[in-house]
Amino acid sequence: MTLPENSENDAFDLQNFLPFLLNQAAEGSSLEFQRVYKDRYGMLRTEWRVLFHLGSYGEMTARDIGRRAKLHKTKISRAVHKLELRRYLKRSRDEKDRRVERLALTPAGQTVYNELRGIARDYDARLARKFTSGETALLRMMLRRLAGMD
């Protein structure tokens, strides 16, 4: 592992490249939470996201979730199907527009959501404690802006 000949390496540092760094941070900070929803609840990433959207915002359509979570409709379609099989959500046709399905958690889904929400809240608090509260607030603001959420 020697240094490259080509040393007009002017001012580029991979370890500080934001897209790389953001990915590393996202993966690193998701690992533990992933073990919870995956190993303990048998859910996929898209599945907990759908569950959390319905738990947080109440009844939504697949399209609503896709917009908010920036998830492709095929991913959502399959996640909804799995959550339905597990009886965590139910669908109902919108009678105004029969293309649309209104999605809502069942009581069982609500229960799972409540459990996971508690774990998520604790986990978030643990991550936040790595910094001062001002720093964490600034971090969230910056991430929202990078995500195009405002």
Partner DNA sequence: GCATAATAGTTGATTTTGTAACTAACAAGA
Partner DNA sequence: TCTTGTTAGTTACAAAATCAACTATTATGC
By a kind-dependent CB cut-off of 5 to 8 A, residue 80 interacts, out of a second copy, DNA, none, with: DNA
Which residues is 102 bridged to in the sheet? 61, 92
**Which residues are at the interface with a second copy (CB under 8 A)?**
1-6, 9, 11-30, 33, 49, 52-53, 55-61, 64, 70, 105, 110, 114, 117, 120-121, 123-124, 127-128, 130-131, 135, 138-140, 142-149
Contact yes or no for 109/51 (Cβ under 8 A): yes
Which of 89, 7, 18, 101 lies closest to 51 in space, CA to CA?
A: 89
By a kind-dependent CB cut-off of 5 to 8 A, residue 75 interacts, out of a second copy, DNA, none, with: DNA
By a kind-dependent CB cut-off of 5 to 8 A, residue 23 interacts, out of DNA, a second copy, none, with: a second copy
Q: Tell me how far apart the alpha carbons of residues 85 and 49 are, in angstroms, rounded to a whole number.
A: 16
